[in-house]
Chain A
């Protein structure tokens, strides 16, 4: 058995295990909550012809299943976005929100809440404003960082960080001017939630996430080449400018849609690629899909913790991902140090 065969077997095993973890997380999240429902019953309620108006069916089909689907899509998309951006910038500390995407989306949402547009026009204004805010920031970062069609990776990163600060400060201005109820709305929005009533938005997020995964797989070899640096990648025949631009917009689209639908859920795009690099290495052919699977599982489990740990109260999911993600990160850093 060659080295290559062994590698592929390892990758297959990793994918099987991660898929199993994702399914197990989803089933656990579906069966746990205010009412504990057995796994067999859960499957019957989803697949069978049980009374759709019963309390159990409402809990599974109208509350938990949409959250689980959204958790898989958003967790997967944010991890994917993180791993792509870390590949482009060759910087392990970059995550989707480093480039100002969360700041832009939060600013858009704060603007809508302060003007009370969601009260006048409908709640769809929140995700719409979030997405527009994120998109504007992404384009601003892109245009400020490009010179004559060339992209400077370092400039882009620095511009992103600075624009992010400006957007956060602008949001604080809006918060200082808003009344207490609106202030409350803005703060909770920035903490994230998977409680999305609009099923169409959940489907849209799933489609964007899965399409993003599918599309990014075509760039796995380019990302591997970019690991060697921009110049070496160019020598290998990679059109680095085009690849960088395409992947930057793909990662931004994924993060922008997620933040627009669920609010700011931090750390997923940072921690998941880190954990997986320790397990599967830095080859993007396995890293992209495995990040998607583990990111989905992580967010589904985080949501389960958020809605059960102080039940019947609920914690914002961003708090849970921040605490768990930060703790895992510190543990990993310390274990690396000990090994050295």
Chain B
């Protein structure tokens, strides 16, 4: 027969469970890095988005810190000052495809934990990398929430695309000298795809493109990822080709480089929103 547990036994079980929970919490918390070094500006942006800046101790000279005291500079875009990294005693280094593989090997030899993010090739990659980072920083819930919201927003924004319009041909310029275009298998092409457009460089595997190819393709819309004065001069130069459809219809637009070249999930959504507005509603309706 089933014997009821007396109150003494119940108390013991409760104490044991509480003790186990305590140990589990402590060991789990110990795994959450407390001293992080970010080796790419986009990683630093993601850490801020996850409110993990308190753990950030080092970053590159091109990372935008909200407060200069948030972290120390330990690297340029490609060159890492290994001694300075060691002095900061990091328990996690977050590297990107721009980090020299030899440098990563050195960190591995030094038994420093390295989280490596390869080149992101789609919006999906941006989201999954963000979730991986969130999980590693002990912010899984927050990262899942941000990603879910971003995906939801993308769907909503895509709903603003007018029905029954033919897909506009888009040239998305991300470099001027030499001329560089967004190509397939990059997260930037998702901007064009999600906006219901056709990339004029869809057959390219390398981004450098001739000006002749752009003119012959006769795009409906030209996006120039902002490059300061260079971007303005590029716009002026495109405007001299008066018979190109994008010029005729005043459909040459700037888009913030910060949002299109190294976006966090929420910046991707902002950029997509601007792109869809520019393509279908700004100046002349498409």
Contact = CB atoms under 8 A, between A and B. Distances in A.
B216 A197 contact: no
A314 interface: yes
A63 B178 contact: no
A279 B240 CA distance: 44
A318 B230 CA distance: 23
A311 B213 contact: yes
A188 B177 CA distance: 7
B228 A120 contact: yes
Contacts of A181: 175, 261
Interface in A74-101: none
B165 to A, nearest CB: 24
Interface in A52-87: 53-55, 58-59, 62-64
Contacts of B14: none
B229 A34 contact: no
Nearest to A52: B242
Q: Does more than half of chain B's interface fall in helix, strand or loop, or is it mixed?
A: loop
A118 B229 contact: yes
A35 B209 CA distance: 14
A221 interface: no
Interface in B215-254: 215-216, 218, 227-230, 233, 237, 240-244
A88 B218 CA distance: 51
Q: Which of B61, B204, B233, B261 has the most A CB atoms < 10 Å from its CB?
A: B233
Given A119-B227, A119-B230, A59 B215 contact: yes
A178 interface: yes
Given A59-B215, A118-B229, A311-B213, A189 B177 contact: yes
A178 B76 contact: yes
A180 B229 CA distance: 19
22 contacts: A33-B210, A34-B210, A55-B218, A58-B215, A58-B241, A62-B240, A62-B241, A63-B215, A119-B228, A119-B230, A176-B76, A183-B78, A185-B177, A189-B177, A193-B177, A195-B179, A197-B237, A311-B210, A312-B212, A312-B213, A314-B208, A314-B209
Given A53-B243, A63-B211, A178-B76, 6 more contacts: A34-B213, A55-B218, A59-B212, A63-B212, A64-B212, A312-B201
